Structures are given as structure tokens and as C-alpha cells.
Structure 1
């Protein structure tokens, strides 16, 4: 386990590192997840192994510290991640980022361009959510509660709604971190994650479950040079549902 302080108070981001050569590869998890749990199998597959790979837990999640005075916006997540990667000696890395982690990676690439050489987004959030959804699972469901409601016990409703698999990593998150990150994801960035992505000058690939049929705004992504790739036999967590298909798609995107 590696770590680096990323706040003035010394709060640390932690990551598991797989040894290898070449430019670093950085894996970033989604809301309520943890990169070692979600990416260890695929990152060690022969098609992707052999590169220095950092399986990073964002601040507030997994093995990283969970400060209660951090705002957990997409911008703050991106800056904290940038501080950790800079301390690790990472530059011009390949990013493989899932869901909210993809949103963070887009903002990171815009704010800290020297850190990002390639970007593979795994069913990432590209747009703000206009209205929080019904209380329960997912970012909009979490954000439907006030922070006070969530901390006072509404988090149990989320626990019961997400199921045992997602809860196995979500329970590791700080509750303030989970709620504020969901609110930040629903709010999105300014410019939006989609707008930032369209302007990034690096190779970009967007993976999505083939069962979804298409990606909203796909024509605009393709026109801007973003490769949009459907992965079969999976849901939102592509790397867990179809590891072989995920590895094949990521390997092709990075090659």
C-alpha cells in the first residue's frame, strides 16, 4: 500500500501499485467503490499487465482517509488526486476511470494536463443531473437527501437499496464523503464534464454496456474524436460483469 498527503491537514490518498515499466497507468473507481476491489483482476490480466499501475482510492473512499472538512466536489477530488500522483512521480499517464471516477479524470485532465496522456472512460458521468432522483441508491438518490438527513440515518436506506456487493465497498466510505461526492456528481462541473471532454487534446475512449443501445450525445462525442465502444454482456460495472470483454476493449483503446 502506498500513500501521499493531499490536504493541508495531511489527509492521505492511498493506492495499490502493480509493478511494471513504461508510462504509468492509473485506475480510478466510481462512487462508493474502491479501485483495488474493482480493478485488480483486469489490471493483472496479461493483456494489461506489465505496466506500472496505480489502483487509486479517491479521498473519502476505500483505504484513503475520510476527512469531514473536505468538500468532495469533482474539482477538489481532481486536485487531491493530482497531488497524490505528483507525489508518486506520475506524469503523462494512461487513465482507466469508471463512473464518477471518469468524471474526476476528465476534470483532472482539464486542470492538470501534464498528468494525462490517454483517457479510457468506463460508462462515466458526462452531464449534470437536473433533478435528484427518488431517495435511495445511486448518486441522484443519495443527493436527494440533505446531508443532515443522510448522516442522521438515511444512509441506511441507501445501504438497503444498493445490495450487498456495492455495499461491501460503499460501507468503507466516509458518510460525509459519500453524500458530498454524490451531490458534486449530480451538480457536475463548470464547464460540464462533456464539454471538457470534447476539448481534451488526448486520445479518449468511452466504453459503455452494449445493452444500453447507445450513449446520449454519441454523435457529438464521435465528431470530437472520442472513440465510443460498446462492450457486450455487462451492466454499468463492466470490469466486474465481463472482465475479458473489458480487458479486450481497454487494451485496444490504449494500443
Structure 2
């Protein structure tokens, strides 16, 4: 028993998994850019011309998740898709980064400052939605319009899939011992439609990095959505909430609940679409997002 406990503690707090080696076809197709700040070296892409829009991916994902939406929005907008700390190919410079709402919203602001954006519309998915929402709550003068896709932010229990990450040692073991097959299971649960192998591989490559694994369990422990829920009635940013009717992580009824708390917010639930609505049902979802941002 002592040996088992010792091995568990060693894996949880000393051992680091080796990232997978993967030549991303998506990175080969896009022009990656980097913005150096005291917080992080932000990986991002900039596409199109027009009123600026910043895209923030969900937990365990990166800008790849917006591959269908970027070209649609780029017809009328300058689109900045960014990996925040713990996502994709962004790397931290701040060793004391907190991985909570203040830190993630602050990171979004730092990125916008670094690329010269005083104000922009923001689109956020899942955890990325709550970080974007909190940024709009704290800095309403910096957000023109806000789109929340299957977004966290209500003070409700998280999906049972994520709860093991909340416990010390157990969360570290789950995160560090996660394999591509485990990540594939979670990704496929986020879709109602079949998920190509390339989607799994593109997401697993950055997720396999130790820094991104650690962010996953740290965020699960630190994100306090009682804060975002309390601030919802004071929001002034025009907000559109989009949800998949077949979301298996977060109850689609949260769309109406959230919209009812945010003054003037509108919402739509798309039947037959999963948690990653913008990826799962791009033909239905992305025109709705583009239309709202158009005003």
C-alpha cells in the first residue's frame, strides 16, 4: 500500500508526461503569429479586414476549434483567434499565473493590448465563454458585442466528467495519465455528429503538453461561477447565447437561464448539435454568429 501511495504521489507531483510529436496540418495552412507579453507568449492568427473580433476557445481546445468560423467572419471583420494560457501553443511567462477568472480575463486583456485592440467583439466557447463574459463584466468599455457558445458562467454543478479534477492527487493523476484515446472519448462526447480522426489529433497534440494538462485541473478547481452569475444582471454588452440542443456536457436549458439574467440578451438552441456547436453544426451556427456580430 505504501508503494502504491508513493507511486501515485510521484506521478502527481514529480513526474511529467512527454508531449506527443505532431506536425499539425492546420498550422501548416495558417499563418501563426506570436504576441510577447509579461503574462504569456500568445499564439494567435489574424485574418480578414473590418471591425475586430476576438475568438476564445474552450477548455482543452485551441484556435483550431474556430477553423470553420474564421473564414465566415473574416469576410467583414478582422478576426483574432487566440490561445489563452493553458491552450494550444501559447506559453506562460508569468510563473505565478493564477488560472482563475481574474487571471484568464486579465490574459485576454493583455493579448488585446499587445495587438493594439482597445475595443473588440468577443466570441467565447465553454470555459472560454465564461472568461470572455467576465472580461466584458469587468471591462464593458472594451467589448462591443459578446457571443457565448455553450458557455459556463452559471453557478451550477459542473459536468461529472470534469469533477475528478477537483480533488488533489486524483486530479493530477487523471490529467497526467490521460492518453489520446481518453481525450478522443471526451472530444467525441462534445459532438453530436461523427468526429474525424484529424480533429482528435489536432486537439491532442497541444493538450499533451504538461503545462496545458496542469491548466486543466487548476482551472477546474479555481473557476468560481458564482462571481459571473452575480454580475450578469449588471451587464451592458449586447450578448447572444448559442447552445447545442444535444449538448452532453452542459444542459441546453442553461441558455434560457443565462439569457434571462443578462439584460437584453438573446439566445438560440440548435437541435441535434453538441457542446461544440460551432464545430459540430457550422452551417447552422456560424451564420447566426456572423449575423449577430454584424449588428
TM bucket, shorter chain:
0.7 to 0.9
Q: Give the one of 5, 17, 20 matched to 2:46.
A: 17
Please tell me whether residue 52 in structure 1 is matched to residue 78 in structure 2. yes
Shift in CA distance, 73/170, structure 1 to aligned 2, threshold 3 Å: farther
Please tell me whether residue 253 in structure 1 is matched to residue 292 in structure 2. yes
Please tell me whether residue 218 in structure 1 is matched to residue 256 in structure 2. yes
Shift in CA distance, 63/217, structure 1 to aligned 2, threshold 3 Å: closer
For normalisation by structure 2, the TM-score amounts to 0.72
Q: Is the 8 A contact 1:93 1:115 kept in 2?
A: yes
Q: Is the 8 A contact 2:56 2:81 kept in 1?
A: yes
Please tell me whether residue 29 in structure 1 is matched to residue 53 in structure 2. no
Q: Distance in 1 between matches of 2:255 and 2:214?
A: 28
Larger radius of gyration: 2
Q: Give the one of 220, 231, 235 matched to 1:196.
A: 231
Shift in CA distance, 242/190, structure 1 to aligned 2, threshold 3 Å: closer
Shift in CA distance, 111/31, structure 1 to aligned 2, threshold 3 Å: same
Q: Give the one of 202, 205, 210 matched to 2:240.
A: 205
Aligned counterparts, 1:25-104, within 5 A: 25-35=53-63, 37-45=64-72, 49-66=75-92, 69=95, 70-104=97-131
> Structure 1 segments of 4 or more deviating over 6 A?
none
Q: Give the one of 148, 158, 168 matched to 2:202.
A: 168
Shift in CA distance, 201/194, structure 1 to aligned 2, threshold 3 Å: same
Q: Is the 8 A contact 2:165 2:220 kept in 1?
A: no
Q: Shift of the alpha carbon at 1:67? A: 5.8
Structure 2 residue aligned with 1:242: 281
Q: Shift of the alpha carbon at 1:6? A: 3.2
Q: Shift of the alpha carbon at 1:191? A: 4.7
Structure 2 residue aligned with 1:232: 271
Q: Distance in 2 between matches of 1:90 and 1:202?
A: 17
Q: Shift of the alpha carbon at 1:149? A: 2.7
Please tell me whether residue 6 in structure 1 is matched to residue 37 in structure 2. yes
Per the alignment, in what secondary structure is the counterpart of residue 247 of structure 1? helix
Per the alignment, in what secondary structure is the counterpart of residue 72 of structure 1? coil
Aligned counterparts, 1:121-140, within 5 A: 121-128=148-155, 130=157, 133=160, 138-140=161-163
Gaps of at least 5 residues in structure 1 are none
Q: Distance in 1 between matches of 2:65 and 2:133?
A: 20
Please tell me whether residue 111 in structure 1 is matched to residue 138 in structure 2. yes
Q: Distance in 2 between matches of 1:15 and 1:131?
A: 29
Q: Is the 8 A contact 1:25 1:51 kept in 2?
A: yes
Q: Shift of the alpha carbon at 1:100? A: 0.8
Count of aligned positions? 245
Task: Say which is worse superposed, 110-119 or 229-238, in terms of deviation.
Answer: 110-119
Q: Distance in 2 between matches of 1:115 and 1:208?
A: 25
Q: Distance in 2 between matches of 1:43 and 1:149?
A: 35
Shift in CA distance, 205/160, structure 1 to aligned 2, threshold 3 Å: closer
Q: Shift of the alpha carbon at 1:232? A: 3.2
Q: Distance in 2 between matches of 1:65 and 1:5?
A: 10
